[in-house]
Amino acid sequence: MSGTAVMRFRQPSVLPGFGIALGFTLVYLSGIVLIPLAAMILKSAGLGWAEFWRIVGDPRTLAAIRLSFGASLLAASINAVFGVLLAWVLVRYSFPRRRLADAMIDLPFALPTAVAGIALTTLYAPNGWIGQFLATLGLKVAYTPIGIVIALTFIGLPFVVRTVEPVLREFDREAEEAAATLGATRRQTVFRVILPSLLPAILTGYALALARSIGEYGSVIFIAGNIPYVSEITPLLIVIRLEEFNYAGATAIAAVMLAISFSMLLIINLIQAWSRRRFGHDG
């Protein structure tokens, strides 16, 4: 459109309403999201480096961050494996109630986290439906870090499935036929032809599940047991600091989490940019 060297802010259009639509968007975005987030960052910056590091370097904070990361990594990994399997089964095979199963995948998005939290706790408590079987094996799930992993696996379940599904559906079957005619076994075709091209989608889903899990609160706090240094996740520690009216403590920990979230967002965007270059589609 613009042949000139210096592009104007907006390219000309006959459609009306640009000014008011963009103006409203910017005011609303700033008021609801940007200014409150900036205020929080400003507040944590006001603490000064020494105070900030004293709070973040506190053993209890570090234990919480380590736990949040560890449990989230584990849950996202479980979801990566089962997510690919689920996407594969839902796209490639037909079986009774396949559509219902496909619709059910989104349940963790739709079910309020508090409801998921109490339901999972009831199931995995030592006297619960699943918990009593695990108890006979000597395995305690509820009120331990394993319970946290279970809750995070639940809420992260849809991410990998939903990012892999469309890519798998669009996958060119001719590549598989070519591999087969060239003498590849089915196993070789799956692991060396299909899975590599699903990789960006798997990574994107993994990163999305991870990002969601690190910040998750509602579904975890019921099952976690919430013992400091053992089963206390980072978002819960923010809430505890806030309830103690320790605003500085809450803000500093929140700033660290925000930095982690932004890095995750950056990583997801990088994966998608790489995927677009390499495979011609988003992850």
Partner 1 sequence: MTVENMLVPSAAGTAAPNRYEATSETRGVRIVLIAIAVLFLALFLLLPLAAVFMEAFRGGIQAYFAAITEPDALAAIRLTLTVAAIAVPCNLIFGVAAAWAIAKFEFKGKSLLTTLIDLPFSVSPVISGLVYVLLFGAQGYFGPWLSAHGIQIAFAVPGIVLATIFVTFPFVARELIPLMQEQGTGDEEAALSLGANGWQTFLFVTLPNIKWALLYGVLLCNARAMGEFGAVAVISGKIRGLTNTMPLHVEILYNEYAFSAAFAVASLLALLALVTLAIKTFLEWRFADGIAAAGRSH
281 Cβ contact partners less than 8 Å away, ≥ 6 residues apart: 167, 170, 275
Nearest C-alpha neighbor of 64 from the set 230, 263, 275:
230
Within 47-66, which residues bind partner 1 (CB under 8 A)?
none
Give the end-to-end CA distance of the chain in Å, rounded to a whole number.
30
Question: Which regions of 201-264 does DSSP assign to beta strands (E)?
Answer: none
**CA 64 – CA 58 distance, rounded (Å):** 10
Assess 5 for contact with partner 1 (CB under 8 A): no
Within 89-108, which residues bind partner 1 (CB under 8 A)?
89-95, 99, 101, 103-108
Judged by CB under 8 A, the stretch of 19-27, 55-63, 134-142, 273-281 that binds partner 1 is: 19-27
Radius of gyration of the chain (CA): 23
With CB under 8 A as the contact rule, the residue among 39, 139, 195, 227 that binds partner 1 is 39
CB of 195 to partner 1, least distance (A): 14
CB of 148 to partner 1, least distance (A): 15
**CA 111 – CA 142 distance, rounded (Å):** 20
Judged by CB under 8 A, the stretch of 57-65, 131-139, 154-162, 273-281 that binds partner 1 is: 154-162
Within 165-184, which residues bind partner 1 (CB under 8 A)?
165-166, 169, 173, 176-177, 180-181
Amino acid at position 187, single letter: R
Assess 279 for contact with partner 1 (CB under 8 A): no
**CA 61 – CA 219 distance, rounded (Å):** 20
Assess 158 for contact with partner 1 (CB under 8 A): yes
**CA 148 – CA 129 distance, rounded (Å):** 18
Assess 75 for contact with partner 1 (CB under 8 A): no
**CA 203 – CA 187 distance, rounded (Å):** 21
Site string for partner 1, 205-244 (x = CB under 8 A): x--x--x--xxxxx---x------------x--xx--x--
How many residues bind partner 1, per CB under 8 A? 104
**CA 241 – CA 229 distance, rounded (Å):** 15
Judged by CB under 8 A, the stretch of 55-63, 132-140, 162-170, 271-279 that binds partner 1 is: 162-170
